[in-house]
Structure 1
Amino acid sequence: MVETGVLQGKTVVLTGAAGGIGRVIARMVADRGGRLVLIDPNEAGARELSDSLPGGPHPVVASILESPEACEAALTAVDGPIHALIHMAGLFERHELTPDARPIYDRAIASNLTNGFDLAMALMERLPTEEPIRMVFASSLAFRRGSTGRVAYSAAKGGVVGLVRGLARNLGPRALVNGIAPGVIETPMIKEIAAERGDSMRAEIPLQRLGKPEEVANVALFLIGPDSTYITGQIINVDGGLISS
């Protein structure tokens, strides 16, 4: 459990802030005294979230982070040093295995992987000197098991694993870089899929239930908190044991 106030005065940049897991992470950060920069193309959703959080209003950047310049511009909303980047943004689109799937592949790579790289590069000139910056990237169980109907998404999330490990090795003591690989989590998107599949989806999971956004958010908070100072280059599975089944 992360103690209240442990992030007091620290700035956390959060992408995908208006999403199911992003919203929970944002509230947990704010409840612990953190200052947020909320990045999401859903400006209305991000502003509603900002206004509802303690310590607000927190800056909102409405962007899909489509280029290195867009990533650099997003960080101009930050006043002072950045304690952590939590990159939860990413598209989860279904597609057929046909040549016209290429645009979906490009969007998957851009939103899940490329803009994470661009954000990390934009942070290079803003690395804090007193302690390592924390970077947390969202991968997925799909990078190991594959995702039915979502080859592009699986490929992108596999790339995130390489990004995490490469950044961790190259940044050394200047950054603690880790990833989270959620399994089947109760977000609106996954609930729709679970409703279609019925009990069969839960039956595949050793814990026999879907994960909660709070269970993913707790891991993100741990990775940017004071108790994870010797952890870097790791991918933490939050999947109810699914990867082992």
Structure 2
Amino acid sequence: MAQGPFDGKTILITGGGGAIGRATAKRFLDDGAKLVLVDVNAQGLEAAASDLASPDRVQTHLSYLDSVAAAEVAVEKAGDGFHALVHLAGISLPDPEDYEDLDLFDRTIAANTRNAYALARVIERRGLGDASDTFRIVLASSMAYRRGGLDRVAYSSAKGAIAGMVRALSRRLAPRVHVNGIAPGIILTPMTEPIIKRRGDDLAREIPIQRYGRPTEVAGVIAFLCGPDASYVNGQIINIDGGTINS
């Protein structure tokens, strides 16, 4: 049997119970990796694990990643061969009508950005990666940070913070660690269903490719950023939006 590019390597995926998390997990499994899937949703985690072949190569971990200590526990699950962190965890909710309500902003920052920072601190402290096998971090931003979500200021702000984090960490952690980000557009997932239902026709007309993205198409870019072909890619935010930003 031919070796995959991630044989002997462990990938930690946050948001592993979501649609993009599942597609990414399957891609890495097909390429030989072992996985640690982290999510706040126990039911989603269980469903994700049961959908995947090779259950002996998949661990699940229920966590909000709400502190450095919690991030440390998640990282410990990866054990030897820990090669990459893929941070997909996050929430996207419309801003509240109550102008005095800042709770959603705080929760959105925590669920998208604060947890990424906690994980990065653990990885930095552990000194992961070396000259022969750089550690990889891929953080999920969004098209929303480039265009601005009309009714999702909190979410757009959180994803903008992720972009800044990518650029800062890519300088701070190099050369042992390469840090990059992805900025998906409208991908067919449960998270985007309400947006597509409300504004689907208008959104579709803005996409040059004239369709929405698929989770597997995001997974392919993530696998590239974690693999050997991305050995000189660092500090980049890659759009996965069918050309929307450039149109």
Aligned-residue RMSD, C-alpha: 1.5
| Aligned-partner Cα distance in 2 for 1:224–1:30 | 13
Does the alignment pair 1:166 with 2:168?
yes
Q: Return the letter of the residue paired with 1:112.
A: N
Structural mapping, 1:135-214, within 5 Å = 135-214=137-216
Q: Return the letter of the residue paired with 1:95.
A: D
Correspondence for 1:44: 43
Greater than 6 Å deviation, 4+ residue runs? none
Correspondence for 1:114: 114
CA deviation string 1:119-151 (max 9, x = no partner): 011112150334110000000011111002110
SS of corresponding position for 1:173:
coil
Please say if residues 81 and 126 of structure 1, whose CA atoms lie closer than 8 Å, have aligned partners that are also in contact. Answer: no
Structure 2's unaligned 5+ residue stretches are: none
Correspondence for 1:59: 59
SS of corresponding position for 1:199:
helix
Structural mapping, 1:223-238, within 5 Å = 223-238=225-240
- The two structures have a TM-score, normalised by structure 1, of 0.94
Correspondence for 1:89: 89
| Aligned-partner Cα distance in 2 for 1:9–1:213 | 25
Q: Return the letter of the residue paired with 1:154.
A: S
- The two structures have a TM-score, normalised by structure 2, of 0.94
**Superposition deviation, residue 101 in structure 1:** 3.3
Does the alignment pair 1:218 with 2:220?
yes
Correspondence for 1:101: 101
Q: Return the letter of the residue paired with 2:159.
A: K
Change (3 A) 1:59 1:128: same
Q: Return the letter of the residue paired with 1:73.
A: V
Change (3 A) 1:69 1:121: same
Structure 1's unaligned 5+ residue stretches are: none
Correspondence for 1:127: 128
Correspondence for 1:240: 242
Please say if residues 4 and 31 of structure 1, whose CA atoms lie closer than 8 Å, have aligned partners that are also in contact. Answer: no
| Aligned-partner Cα distance in 2 for 1:239–1:224 | 20
SS of corresponding position for 2:229:
coil
**Superposition deviation, residue 63 in structure 1:** 0.8
**Superposition deviation, residue 207 in structure 1:** 1.2
**Superposition deviation, residue 80 in structure 1:** 1.0
| Aligned-partner Cα distance in 2 for 1:198–1:177 | 33
Please say if residues 11 and 78 of structure 2, whose CA atoms lie closer than 8 Å, have aligned partners that are also in contact. Answer: no
Q: Return the letter of the residue paired with 2:162.
A: V
